[in-house]
A and B are shown apart, each in its own frame.
Chain A
Amino acid sequence: MKQSRASLMLTAAVSAFIFAGSAFAQTLTIGVRGGPESLDPHFSALGTHAEAAKHIFDTLVWSGDNLQLEPGLAESWKSLDATTWEFRLRRGVKFHDGSDFTAEDVKFSIERVPLVSGPTTTTIYVRRVKEVVIVDPHTLHIRTDGPAATLPYDFVRLFIVSAKAAKDFSTKETSAAGFNSGKAAVGTGPYKLVSWEPKGDLVLDRHDAYWRGKSHWSRVVRKEMANDSSRLAALKAGQVDLINYVSAADWVALKRDPKIATFVGDSVYVMNLQLDQREPTPKVYDLQGNALAKNPLRDPRVREAFDLAIDRQAMVEVVLEGLGKPARQLMPEGFFGSSTRIAWPKHDARRARQLLAEAGYPNGFKIDLHCTNDRLPGDGAICQGLGQMFSQVGIQTNVNAISRTVYFPAQARKEYSVFMNGWGTLTGEASYTLGSLAHSMDKEVNMGAFNRIEYKNPDVDKAMQEGARTLDDTKRRALFEKAMELTVADRAYIPVVVLQTVWAGAKDKVIIAPRTDEDTLAYFVKPAK
């Protein structure tokens, strides 16, 4: 506000994509569903935590709108040999306190992570790092514990804190106090911390020396409003300018509101149906409710019947009210390692029934279907929809849409036979998803941690292990694509729908470009007009 027009125009020239010519810097108020858990960026790996941290801190590697890798605090990186990556750092970057950003800060940050990480552990981002070697103030060599092809992907949520400011606040006991008070919360990001209250408001002021160019918004207030209806009401009442996670139901109505603009983007989440491959399996019964002689889910014909029973079109149009897309693989289309050769699944109830009969279940059987009902938009409704569809081909389904606090521990204990939950490919590449879900559980190679159905296909295992060692992008992509095709063909994991996310904002004030990781980043919110 106290800015000369000339300086405004200068910044506009530097960062033309942010400034749309508005004459006054303003306050942007955002109503978000979830906020940070602490201001220590290394405390939690939760999405909302990282989202808030991105306002204050930067990462070496930036993850773009569609999760493509872009330079961040590192201008470039390359692998020198099988176990060494070189990162060249951006010059002239300033911390909020005016000090220079150097390799020292990166080394400090990487080494700090294991000391302060909480239960939603951020150590996953540095797990491959064996040693950080400072070559000069703007060059780093990172030695890994083996060939680590995906190291740059790991670094998209590795936040760089100031070694000087955070030095005394790097133990479990001191970190929260130091960062929440603002003393240690010194980053290179687009905004400086003003104040924060857990589950309350995060207030930020512009960092004028930001290396991407200073933000249009002189002040940003992120209000945490967990309740979807409250958030929407706040937008309609003009209390906030922008909200995230508009529900499908509200989106339908908002589209008719002349004062509100909505923005729809694909998310990273695919709803997957998972069919237990163990023998015996706990929650599948004959029609009288007694145990079956063998697990029908191990029969490929039965699995195909499940797939054919699902009317994905109805799921998208009716259950999600248009806010989703049918899915044919375990990640959204276009992600690194997704395949274009997989056929789109069809809905064919008659064929499903026929397949069940061929498999020896002419009258079907009974299952308990488990899923979350409070984790992702529409999860409970999709689950009930699946229940209808399975029942209609003869698989009598008892739907248990339950809280994630009950679901995930029980799922981890492998108590379920047929279950569905969302899986987000947060890094945008297949090793994240297939390595955890499709690879058989194997501690040796550290894969299959989330393979709760004991699915095992030796060819998938082989392709994934080879992929992890392959530094060549083209070859690795081909390996992942093959693994994806094999996994989907086996139908132990049946993709149902890809979810979409909606933002809504005051039409005369904001425009945003949806990000696939669903982050709502104030810096990239453009003023309307």
Chain B
Amino acid sequence: MLGFVIGRCLQALVVMLVMSLVVFTGVYAIGNPLDILIPPEAPQDIREATIARFGLDRPIWEQYLYFLLNVLQGDFGRSFIYNMPVLTLILSRLPATLELALAAVLGATLIGVPLGIYAGYRPTSVAARLIMGLSILGFSVPTFWVGLILILAFAVSLGWLPAGGRGPTVLLFGVPWSFTSLEGLSHLLLPALNLSLFKLAMMIRLARAGTREIILTDTVKFARAAGISEATILRRHVLKLISIPIVTVFGLEFGSTLAFAVVTETIFSWPGLGKLIIDSITSLDRPVMVAYLILIAALFVTINLLVDISYAALDPRLRGGRGA
């Protein structure tokens, strides 16, 4: 077992090393950030001095090694734009995105699951058809378009809700959150709704599919024959059985929601990670781009690693290799 774990960790390390190299060279290929950062009036000598000061005149392999050495010491460099350590910058943006993603996924689950169960339970009813139509729409209509329409309707035409930005934050366990105040919530509502539509459609479908399958099983037929009330069947059998895949998907989706927030955050000017990466792409803030990508890759590699190890712990047959 120990050998297996060590092997897997080494594998993950190699993957990370390759990823960092790919990311670094890729970002390097986009262009020299100083071409857009140095002020236009700067004469040649100042341009060269600045380029040298940031080590951008060195050959790429040297820059990469230097970067790698620093990362090993926990230093991802400093943002060209914000003049702060990239790690600090990224961590400062994390709560906003977490809050948004959590609100979206929770909302989608709480609304989507009951609707889905109903649609699966009475698949031919008009309401069920409406629900399914809604879910198709939720799947199909691109997030950015919904976001635009939401702003246009609720912020511009009706003026009920703010068009963007995050409300005032309150420190809770040392982390700033905005959901504690009414104003914070009003800022959160539209972006969370926007982000949740896709998830909502998915939750509806999952719950419906699960319910339909379970309703057709013998267990439910016997329960019905035994005279157990429909409400009890739904609660005892259906909800219990579909909750397992839903919780799994909830977990998985939460991760992808963090990344998908890119679009929503851009439209609603939500000061989260997604906005940060888009901004750093459009301003060629190389250190932020590289660090963000590498950290995201590290996150997913770690998740995969943990999953592998826990599977192996549960099932010794897997230790020889992944393929059965």
Contact = CB atoms under 8 A, between A and B. Distances in A.
Direct touching of A and B (C-beta under 8 Å):
yes
Interface of A: 37-38, 40, 43-46, 117-121, 123-124, 127, 172, 175-177, 180, 197-200, 223, 225-227, 229-230, 233-234, 236-237, 239, 374, 403-406, 408-412, 423-424, 426-427, 432, 435-436, 441, 443, 446-447, 449-450
Contacts of A423: 40
B165 A234 contact: yes
A38 B36 contact: no
Interface in B244-298: 266-269, 271, 275-276, 279, 281-284
Interface string B139-181: 0000000000001000110010011111000000000000000
B82 A233 contact: no
A230 B165 contact: yes
A227 B164 contact: yes
A43 to B, nearest CB: 5
Nearest to A116: B83
A338 B140 CA distance: 55
Contacts of A234: 162-165
A346 B127 CA distance: 66
A40 B271 CA distance: 21
B35 A408 contact: yes
A436 B41 contact: yes
Contacts of B279: 199, 226
A124 B42 contact: yes
The CB with the most chain A CB atoms within 10 A, among B30, B31, B89, B275, is that of: B31
26 contacts: A38-B83, A44-B83, A46-B39, A120-B37, A120-B38, A121-B39, A123-B42, A124-B39, A176-B84, A180-B84, A198-B82, A198-B92, A199-B275, A225-B165, A226-B269, A234-B162, A237-B162, A237-B163, A374-B282, A405-B36, A408-B31, A412-B32, A435-B41, A449-B42, A449-B43, A449-B44
Given A230-B268, A403-B282, A449-B42, A409 B32 contact: yes
Contacts of A123: 42, 46, 49-50
Contacts of A38: 82-84
Nearest to B283: A405
A404 B40 CA distance: 14
A124 B165 contact: no
Given A38-B83, A408-B35, A447 B43 contact: yes
Given A119-B33, A121-B38, A410-B31, 19 more contacts: A38-B84, A118-B81, A119-B37, A119-B50, A121-B39, A121-B42, A121-B46, A127-B43, A176-B84, A180-B84, A198-B89, A199-B276, A230-B268, A404-B282, A405-B282, A408-B35, A408-B36, A412-B35, A436-B41
Contacts of A119: 33-34, 37-38, 50, 54, 80
Contacts of B39: 45-46, 120-121, 124
A404 B284 CA distance: 10
B163 A233 contact: yes
Given A176-B84, A403-B282, A406-B31, A230 B41 contact: no
A388 B34 CA distance: 33
Contacts, number: 144
A409 B46 contact: no
Nearest to A36: B82
B2 to A, nearest CB: 41
Contacts of A449: 40, 42-44, 47
Contacts of B165: 223, 225, 230, 234
A118 B36 contact: no
Which of under 10, 10 to 19, 20 to 34, or 35 or more describes the interface residues of B?
35 or more
Contacts of B89: 198
A405 B31 contact: yes
Interface string B42-68: 111111011000100000000000000
A446 B92 contact: no
Contacts of A237: 155, 159, 162-163
Contacts of B41: 124, 426-427, 432, 435-436
Contacts of B33: 119
Contacts of B151: 229-230, 233
B82 A37 contact: yes
Contact of B156 (A180, A226, A236, A424): A236
Contacts of A223: 165
Nearest to B168: A201
Contacts of B78: 172, 176
Closest 9 CB pairs of A and B: A409-B31, A233-B163, A230-B164, A446-B43, A119-B37, A409-B35, A45-B39, A38-B83, A176-B83
A159 B47 CA distance: 21
Nearest to A124: B42
A177 B85 CA distance: 10
Contact of A230 (B81, B84, B163, B271): B163
A117 B268 CA distance: 32
A443 B32 contact: no
Query: Which of the listed residues B37, B39, B166, B281 has the most CB atoms from chain A within 10 Å of its own CB?
Result: B39
Contacts of B271: 197, 199-200
Contacts of B83: 37-38, 40, 43-44, 118, 172, 175-176
A446 B163 contact: no
Contacts of A45: 39
B54 A124 contact: no
Contacts of B80: 118-119
A56 B276 CA distance: 26
A180 B85 CA distance: 13
Nearest to B43: A446
A404 B33 CA distance: 11
B43 A405 contact: no
A177 B267 CA distance: 30
Contacts of B159: 236-237
Interface in B78-96: 78, 80-84, 89, 92
A373 B209 CA distance: 46
B31 A446 contact: no
Contacts of B281: 405
A180 B92 CA distance: 14
B172 to A, nearest CB: 17
Nearest to A121: B50
A404 B89 CA distance: 24
A208 B20 CA distance: 52
Nearest to A234: B163
A286 to B, nearest CB: 30
A225 B151 CA distance: 14
Interface string B7-49: 0000000000000000000000011111111111111111101
A119 B83 CA distance: 10
A40 B82 CA distance: 10
A120 B40 CA distance: 9
A295 B304 CA distance: 57
Contacts of B283: 405
Contacts of B269: 225-227, 230
A412 B284 CA distance: 15
Task: Give the one of B35, B37, B41 with max A CB within 10 A.
Answer: B41
A109 B103 CA distance: 47
Contacts of B37: 118-120
Contacts of A40: 83
A406 B36 CA distance: 9
A446 B43 CA distance: 5
Nearest to B166: A200
A409 B36 contact: yes
Most buried by B among A119, A230, A233, A239: A119
